[in-house]
Chain A
């Protein structure tokens, strides 16, 4: 009975979405306040209906209702409660339901908190948002009904893929979806602005917080996914240029560009047309991502829960959404206000460079991801595009971005002098050069790329922090003056610094991990000792045991460093009888500067176990840096000046920053 209620709720949600995509649009055209006001009500109604459906699906998983097909295929009574719940989105149908739920949450948020949006813009944004909702609800109802029944119901389910029974992968999809589904806001605002025929600073102020919120979630989601791969796959890889990774990385690149171009629209009323186009393209890349993952058109290490028939439906949505909005763009773009002029050397110029290079980077990843398909269509050959391709193309495109992202924020709006700006950065430049020379000398002249990598990292971290020294008059003024200046610096300035420095931390992490990782792969008997990176590893014991729904074999390693106390590491191999699958649970210890990583394999029948020991320097910085970037975004989001389109309790007072003086 309850699953049918869920099914009906989805049908109702689809009908509400249909109304939402038409009525407010007519209302906005006729300036009819009643029709326009229907938009928010329908959006909230749609959110409510989808939430009901989602809760009922969770209920079906928790109560192990195996008469529901997805539950039978993806759950099992023995599974811990947490993984029964997260199993809801560990399959195609449930994850699409999560997708539309998050879409509806964003729509509902505009409905609830968009008081200060002009009525017509709000109505049109909600209408466009309703269309996306309608398309995906139709997709779910016609091709991927999560409430489809199974008769007769099996006595127990097939269980969840053990790889998905992990806390990291439990939170990874919702984070990722909050990110790339969140870019739907950029799309809705862009298309609404095209219909309105008006893009101004106020528009950018309304759309930026949403894009920023989505970007924060996507950044954290990608970092989480990378970390998950690191500890699950059993050898410490953290990025594979896998099509499914690219699926989330392309919207990230475009979204990053969008954040920066919206800044130019907001501050300087320039780049309006480009920003609109980027808003459309960013969400289109999100749809491309959904298509890649859901259709299984390019199978990859992540390929579970896919179906080619469904791919065609998503492809149709993708073509309609992108094609339709680009057509509208072609017709209306010329009527948008032309931008204000600026010199090449200016803050705007820097942001344009950022946009150009990030777009090229996103385009490169896009072409790399789809080229195997192109070659396949041409016939006669099949090719693979893997990490060596991206190392030779993506990295060179991104390198200038890394160098320029320190200089850009130092430039003044409209026009500036590059020599003067660089002069302001001479100390970070000296320090970064020092780092390059130091690394070169330490490595006896080899490892130029390693030295450059660390140099760029130092440049990013120090160069981003450096302006703060001048701004707070550190060392040049009494402490309380600096403190007051620090408190009066707006959060978005700190956001910029933290996010850019975070990128430097990522670069340091990647360089360290790539250049200095060590490994020791060998067969070990119980009691045997081996060495890696100055540590001694002794396999003390091997034990067997039972987890909640798996059997495990666990190695006990005693690890001793040259200093400090010995400690124990416990890598496991798990076997899940329900799915007849085994997984590795690597043992990882970290001191934030380096990780020790042990992955434990089978014995060869002669009492010898296949053991892999890894030494991973700075690897934690990759995710730490990404989290810093997300934190930087979050800091910017708390800036009251940005929250004009977000919930707001207190009225904005004029000149608060100055008032404290």
Chain B
């Protein structure tokens, strides 16, 4: 067996371990008795990323780390933390990576502004197009070949 084959095999094995996602999400035994507190925990966990399973929130994931984070979050809330304090506590441990909604900082400013910038660019492009096409340009005559091909099609256009 070549090194490459071995590497592929090992990768496959690792992936098959990672790519399991059976019965997902928050477990009944983790849930808090106080419905108000539990509702807060659920809402917060939907914004927190399960760090190992990528792009799934801890509320949706069944990875053991997600479980730990859910329990941790609930511990903080039970201890009397505000939503903000509880999230800050987790961010302090795991970094911004854990937030599914990236915070507005210098390295995400462009990300958050991008839709607006793109809209401006699109608007400017549209405005320029209209301005440039204000004057009616002389129509370029079609070649005889095109003319012959288009004639029957134009005849049908009355149908739409």
Residues of A within 8 A of B (CB): 69, 73, 116, 148, 150, 158, 161, 163, 200-202, 205, 233-235, 237, 240-243, 270, 274, 298-301, 303-307, 337-342, 344, 352-353, 356-357, 359-360, 363-364, 367-368, 371, 374-375, 378, 381-389, 392-394, 396-397, 488, 490, 492-493, 521-523, 573, 579, 581-584, 599-602, 604, 610-612, 641, 644, 652-658
Once the chains bind, are B47 and A360 in contact (CB under 8 Å)? no
Pick the interface stretch among B48-56, B66-74, B79-87.
B48-56
B122: min CB distance to chain A, Å: 4
CB contact between A382 and one of B19, B23, B96, B160 (< 8 Å): that residue? B96
A584 to B60 CA separation, bound complex (whole angstroms): 14
Determine the residue in chain A with the shortest Cβ distance to B22.
Answer: A582
A387 to B55 CA separation, bound complex (whole angstroms): 9
Complex contacts, B18 vs chain A, CB 8 Å? 303
Once the chains bind, are A384 and B156 in contact (CB under 8 Å)? no
Q: Using known A-B contacts A202-B149, A493-B160, determine if residue A386 contacts B57 with beta carbons closer than 8 Å.
A: yes
User: A73-B12, A341-B136, A599-B24 given. 19 additional CB < 8 A pairs?
Assistant: A150-B1, A234-B24, A300-B54, A306-B15, A340-B137, A371-B108, A378-B107, A384-B100, A385-B100, A386-B55, A388-B101, A393-B115, A397-B119, A521-B26, A602-B23, A610-B28, A641-B160, A654-B155, A658-B158
Once the chains bind, are A655 and B22 in contact (CB under 8 Å)? no
Could you give, for residues 17-41 of chain B, a 1 whenever the CB lies within 8 Å of some chain A CB and a 0 otherwise?
0111111111111010000000000
Determine the residue in chain B with the shortest Cβ distance to A602.
Answer: B23
A611 to B115 CA separation, bound complex (whole angstroms): 41
A611 to B31 CA separation, bound complex (whole angstroms): 13
Determine the residue in chain A with the shortest Cβ distance to B101.
Answer: A388
CB contact between B122 and one of A205, A298, A356, A381 (< 8 Å): that residue? A356
Residues of B within 8 A of A (CB): 1, 5, 8-9, 11-12, 15-16, 18-29, 31, 47, 49, 53-57, 60, 95-102, 105, 107-108, 111-112, 114-115, 118-119, 122-123, 125-126, 129-130, 133-137, 139-140, 142, 146, 149-153, 155-160
A333 to B1 CA separation, bound complex (whole angstroms): 53
Complex contacts, A653 vs chain B, CB 8 Å? 152
Once the chains bind, are A375 and B107 in contact (CB under 8 Å)? yes
Q: Can you report 13 residue pairs joining A to B where beta carbons are below 8 Å apart? A: A202-B149, A234-B22, A240-B56, A301-B55, A341-B133, A371-B108, A375-B108, A381-B97, A386-B57, A387-B57, A392-B101, A641-B160, A655-B159
Closest 7 A/B residue pairs (Cβ): A657-B159, A386-B100, A388-B101, A654-B155, A356-B122, A382-B97, A341-B133
Once the chains bind, are B21 and A301 in contact (CB under 8 Å)? yes
A288 to B128 CA separation, bound complex (whole angstroms): 29
Once the chains bind, are B20 and A582 in contact (CB under 8 Å)? yes
Once the chains bind, are B27 and A610 in contact (CB under 8 Å)? yes
Q: Using known A-B contacts A300-B54, A396-B115, A655-B155, determine if residue A360 contacts B122 with beta carbons closer than 8 Å.
A: yes
CB contact between A161 and one of B16, B29, B126, B159 (< 8 Å): that residue? B16
Complex contacts, B159 vs chain A, CB 8 Å? 488, 490, 641, 655-658
A236: min CB distance to chain B, Å: 9
Q: Using known A-B contacts A301-B54, A652-B152, A652-B156, determine if residue A163 contacts B19 with beta carbons closer than 8 Å.
A: yes
Complex contacts, B101 vs chain A, CB 8 Å? 386, 388-389, 392
A653 to B140 CA separation, bound complex (whole angstroms): 27
Once the chains bind, are B115 and A360 in contact (CB under 8 Å)? yes
Complex contacts, A298 vs chain B, CB 8 Å? 54
Which residue, of B26, B111, B114, B146, has the highest number of chain A Cβ atoms within 10 A? Answer: B111
Once the chains bind, are A364 and B28 in contact (CB under 8 Å)? no
A526: min CB distance to chain B, Å: 16
Determine the residue in chain A with the shortest Cβ distance to B98.
Answer: A384
Complex contacts, B139 vs chain A, CB 8 Å? 340
Complex contacts, B5 vs chain A, CB 8 Å? 69, 148, 150
A384 to B55 CA separation, bound complex (whole angstroms): 7
Determine the residue in chain A with the shortest Cβ distance to B47.
Answer: A388
A359 to B86 CA separation, bound complex (whole angstroms): 38
Determine the residue in chain B with the shortest Cβ distance to A660.
Answer: B159
Once the chains bind, are A342 and B133 in contact (CB under 8 Å)? yes
Complex contacts, A374 vs chain B, CB 8 Å? 107
Once the chains bind, are A234 and B25 in contact (CB under 8 Å)? yes
Once the chains bind, are B56 and A202 in contact (CB under 8 Å)? no
Complex contacts, A69 vs chain B, CB 8 Å? 5, 8
Which residue, of B23, B27, B57, has the highest number of chain A Cβ atoms within 10 A? Answer: B23
Once the chains bind, are A490 and B160 in contact (CB under 8 Å)? yes
Complex contacts, B60 vs chain A, CB 8 Å? 233, 235, 237
A382 to B94 CA separation, bound complex (whole angstroms): 10
A196: min CB distance to chain B, Å: 13
A460: min CB distance to chain B, Å: 21
Complex contacts, B129 vs chain A, CB 8 Å? 274, 339, 352
